[in-house]
Structure 1
């Protein structure tokens, strides 16, 4: 599990049932050619009415994963090791920005964001959205996670900060008919407002990959498996998608499903899966398998990515390592070969097809990706220069479909 260092749904259209998911997961599909084409791509999206640029992003990520993966970092433009502002730390190390920028709706939807210029949370909203625009204008891909505050006091997303009663009731309370359903809708209204006004220099809506309710197999977030049933999780997810897409008219989003690394079988991975009609990206967050640098850990990570990749190919989705890393500090030394050997092998073993990998953010006292001058900078540079690696300087056009 990562460590966050900042203090801090009426069911839609019919979904896949748990039994259907299990059956699909336990049947090995026959080898087949890629069925995705420029003509049928919309039929595989959670939003068939997505903008042309969002459709192109799905299509191009799906094709990119056949041979390459994008390298990204959370908050790359505003979180730096030792607060060394300026270029992204990845650019400091390699000469190129990442191909993927990670952002968060956390501050944007905070109860204290009153939308005024002098408000600190609104100021963060402006910074975040400006960086999303900068990334898009550079041809990069944007993703958003959402560390949504619990709905009772709106203070934290960690269960360790909640009472037993809050933990037991928070998730169910945001479902249709629940006491905090309107709270949840208000937060989604804010997300929709941001997304519907997020435009690049070309005047077009910026496509984003939205990754809500992540690491749901753990118990550290209030949407974790200990605090909601599989059916409740699916209902919340389906409501989120249908509300944004059909009620709020948000059509520039790909939706990413991303548990932590506990699942080793496709049946368990799909236990809370809301259905193909509500998901575009199949991902996995994984810190734990890389935490001690062991060969077995890397093998485990590779096997899990193989599982996710196979499911993505079967369902015509995008596969991703949605969050990962190893934090280096003054008292925690780098792991030898973490990037160029361990991470690269896990992403490419078993002929897995992975569209992108997202490393967590750097801050004043530690880093997940080394800037220049660190003992493992060369290791990252070796990783970034591999034949399958993509940074901003060599990212293909992601927002148009070329035949």
Structure 2
């Protein structure tokens, strides 16, 4: 009997404490932007309603297809398998500044990625970005697995410092343009 009463008490306690959102909950950063607070609140209100799923490059390429080649911006293996797009969209900026890609295709890639990011945003998705930078010091322009020491050459006074700052400016311009379109 004690076990049954203990189980009922635990269930009741969990039922009461697990259903309410604390009204005082807010981002820890007191200087959080309006957008950050909105994202925080949106994610909090999803608590208990399911699992938020993310997928890297979900509309960029998949099994046997690439959106550039098919001319589609909505195809997704995730969507085809589940009937839903992911909530979190991961993007790797590596493909935009890859020394193997001809310079005339870089703008096309930037424009294409910008559209995919905006489409995800319009679906209510959260976009995240990573940058697996190709090693600019390696004689062959090694990919991100190349362990040739490079950081000292990217910092002030290094041979690639000016180049690296220019790459960061391109990246900042990409994000600025995406944000400007989202603000409309």
Provide Cα deviations, 1:73-111, integer angstroms capped at 9, x if missing partner.
Answer: 111112121228663111111111111211111132335
Q: Secondary structure at the match of 2:113?
A: helix
Equivalent residue for 2:144, pick from 139, 152, 157: 157
> CA separation in 2, counterparts of 1:187 and 1:35?
43
Contact 1:108–1:124 (8 Å) recurs in 2: yes
Aligned match of 2:93: 105
Matches of 2:42 and 2:28, distance apart in 1: 10
Partner of 2:159: 179
The answer to whether the 8 Å contact 2:110/2:174 transfers is no
What CA distance in whole angstroms lies between the structure 2 residues aligned with 1:55 and 1:106?
29
In the other structure, the counterpart of 1:196 is 176
| 2-structure distance, mates of 1:36, 1:149 | 44
Q: How many residues align?
A: 154
* Aligned counterpart in structure 1 of residue 55 of structure 2, from 73, 84, 88: 73
Root-mean-square deviation (CA), in Å? Answer: 3.2
Greater RCO (Cα-Cα under 8 Å, separation 6 or more): 1
Q: Is the 8 A contact 2:52 2:87 kept in 1?
A: yes
Q: What is the alpha-carbon distance in structure 2 between the residues aligned to residue 49 and residue 175 of structure 1?
A: 29
Q: 1:179 to 1:204 in 2, by over 3 A?
A: same
1:178 Cα shift? 3.2
Q: Return the index of the structure with the highest Cα Rg.
A: 2
- Per-residue deviation at 1:133? 0.3
Specify every segment of 5 or more residues in structure 2 that has no aligned partner in the other structure, as ranges: 1-20
Are 1:150 and 1:156, in contact at CA under 8 Å, matched by a contact in 2? Answer: yes
Query: Is the 1:137–1:200 Cα contact (8 Å) retained in structure 2?
Result: no
Distance 1:190 1:140 in 2: 24
For 1:146, which of 123, 126, 131 is the aligned residue?
A: 131
Q: Which shifted more, 191-200 or 79-88?
A: 79-88
CA, structure 1 residues 34+133, in 2 after alignment: closer, same or farther (shift >3 Å)?
A: same
Q: Secondary structure at the match of 2:134?
A: coil
8 A Cα contact 1:71 1:100, kept in partner: yes
Cα deviation for residue 54 of structure 1 reads 3.4
Q: Is the 8 A contact 2:92 2:130 kept in 1?
A: yes
Q: How do 1:133-282 residues align onto structure 2 when only pairs under 5 Å count? A: 133-152=118-137, 153=139, 154-159=141-146, 167=148, 169-199=149-179, 203-204=182-183
Q: How far did residue 136 of structure 1 move?
A: 0.3
Q: Judging changes above 3 Å, is the alpha-carbon distance between structure 1 residues 123 and 72 closer, same or farther for their aligned structure 2 residues?
A: same
TM-score normalised by the chain length of structure 1: 0.33
Which segments of 5 or more consecutive residues in structure 1 lack a partner in the other structure? 1-32, 206-403
Tell me the distance in 1 between the aligned counterparts of 2:86 and 2:61: 13
* Secondary structure, counterpart of 1:188 in structure 2: helix
Residues 101-149 of structure 1: CA deviation (Å, up to 9, x unaligned): 11111132335664xxxx2232222211110000001111111111101
Q: 2: CA distance between counterparts of 1:185 and 1:74?
A: 27
